[in-house]
């Protein structure tokens, strides 16, 4: 197998949050001990409910925030804050909101050229403009769009612009944080197709963050399921969807509505909601909502177990080998 372009080892991010005026601040573990590898031309999807740490993970990977602990490598070299400035161009991000992420006062051409202005002072104006125009075509927009403003575009077109901007510096890794969640179905499919095309053409590694399992099932090669800041299951798309190990993964899959009115509904009903990230239980974080919980689960936190397909559970569903 080819070498990974990026790896993460025991990645953690903690926040100190003050709870009330005179009380001591407490530590919120937004991400706790996540590991993964990204490969050229492959998509790793991160799924999980809101607040489970997906965006925090994205901010560390894109060097917006420094991990509290653990490490990242890019092309085999450690990612340390001293080198962020030079490494950042290799890891770019596209956000969910195609409205908020583009400056409304800048023309599309300016938006696309800006990353080059900052990072490639060696490039001439003509070269920059040529590259921006080429990128516009690559994401399926028309030449006349170059001089227009963001408000003149539809949601899907704006997401194309955001993707084009992220590609201007020839990154190796693209982090996609809910890239199609805000788009209508008829637009979503064309943006997903664009991402597939670009990945093939440019051999990009994708970190694809989404809560929509039907989209993940379509795009992912590998999947990580997160719960309260931790990876609770990891494996290839096919094994995770066909034989989930972790009860939470199973519940998540069963709760995802299928667009087939004849499909049998056998929903696993979870009691309660995600506990507060400030009050994560000792032992298994899923224990308060798990229908298989035993004494042991409350006392000890299960570690990820298994090779190609792993889960953090003492009593997994389709036992890992």
Residues that bind ligand ADP (CB under 6 A): 15, 17, 28, 30, 48, 50-56, 277
Which option in ligand ADP, another protein, Mg ion, none does residue 156 bind, with CB closer than 5 to 8 A by kind? Answer: another protein
- Is 55 a binding residue for Mg ion by CB under 5 A? The answer is yes
The helix/strand count (H/E) of the chain reads as 10, 11
- What 3-state DSSP class applies to 51? coil
d(CA 226, CA 17): 22
d(CA 73, CA 7): 5
Distances (CA, A) of 134 to 109, 111, 121, 128, 158: 11, 14, 19, 10, 17
Which option in ligand SF4, Mg ion, another protein, none does residue 257 bind, with CB closer than 5 to 8 A by kind? Answer: another protein
Q: How far is the CB of 186 from ligand SF4 (least distance, A)?
A: 14
User: Per CB under 8 A, which of residues 216..255 are in contact with another protein?
Assistant: 217-219, 251-252, 255
- The tokens of 36 are what? 């993964």
CA 22 to chain centre: 36
Residue 19 exposed, middle or buried by CB count within 10 Å (0-12, 13-18, 19+): exposed
- Is 263 a binding residue for another protein by CB under 8 A? The answer is yes
15 or 99: whose CB is closer to ligand ADP?
A: 15
Residues that bind ligand SF4 (CB under 6 A): 246-247, 284, 286-287, 290, 292-293, 297, 302, 313-315
CB 12 within 8 A of CB 33: yes
Question: Taking CB under 8 A as the rule, which mask of x and - marks residues 104-143 in contact with another protein?
Answer: ----------------------------------------
Which option in ligand SF4, ligand ADP, Mg ion, none does residue 240 bind, with CB closer than 5 to 8 A by kind? Answer: none
């Amino acid at each position: 197998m080819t070498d990974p372009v990026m790896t993460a080892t025991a990645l953690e991010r903690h926040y100190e949050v003050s709870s009330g005026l005179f009380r001591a601040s407490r530590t919120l573990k937004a991400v706790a001990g996540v590991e993964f590898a990204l490969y050229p031309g492959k998509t790793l999807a991160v799924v999980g409910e809101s607040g489970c740490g997906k965006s925090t993970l994205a901010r560390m990977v894109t060097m917006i925030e420094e991990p509290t602990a653990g490490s990242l490598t890019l092309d085999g070299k450690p990612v340390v804050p001293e080198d962020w400035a030079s490494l950042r161009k290799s890891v770019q991000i596209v956000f969910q909101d195609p409205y908020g992420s583009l400056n409304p006062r800048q023309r599309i051409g300016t938006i696309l050229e800006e990353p080059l202005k900052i990072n490639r002072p060696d490039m001439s104006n003509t070269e920059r403009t040529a590259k921006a125009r080429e990128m516009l075509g690559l994401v399926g927009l028309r030449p006349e769009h170059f001089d227009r403003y963001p408000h003149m575009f539809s949601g899907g077109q704006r997401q194309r612009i955001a993707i084009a901007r992220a590609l201007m510096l020839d990154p190796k890794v693209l982090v996609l944080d809910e890239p199609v969640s805000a788009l209508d179905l008829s637009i979503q499919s064309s943006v997903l197709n664009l991402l597939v095309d670009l990945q093939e053409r440019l051999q990009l590694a994708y970190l694809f963050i989404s809560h929509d399992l039907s989209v993940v099932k379509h795009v992912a090669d590998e999947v990580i399921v997160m719960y309260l800041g931790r990876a609770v299951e990891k494996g290839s798309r096919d094994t995770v969807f066909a034989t989930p190990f972790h009860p939470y993964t199973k519940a998540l899959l069963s709760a995802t509505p299928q667009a087939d009115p004849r499909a049998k509904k056998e929903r696993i009903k979870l009691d309660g909601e995600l506990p507060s990230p400030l009050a994560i239980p000792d032992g298994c974080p899923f224990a308060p909502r798990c229908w298989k919980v035993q004494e042991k689960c409350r006392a000890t936190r299960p570690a990820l177990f298994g090779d190609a397909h792993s889960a953090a559970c003492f009593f997994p569903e389709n036992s890992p080998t």
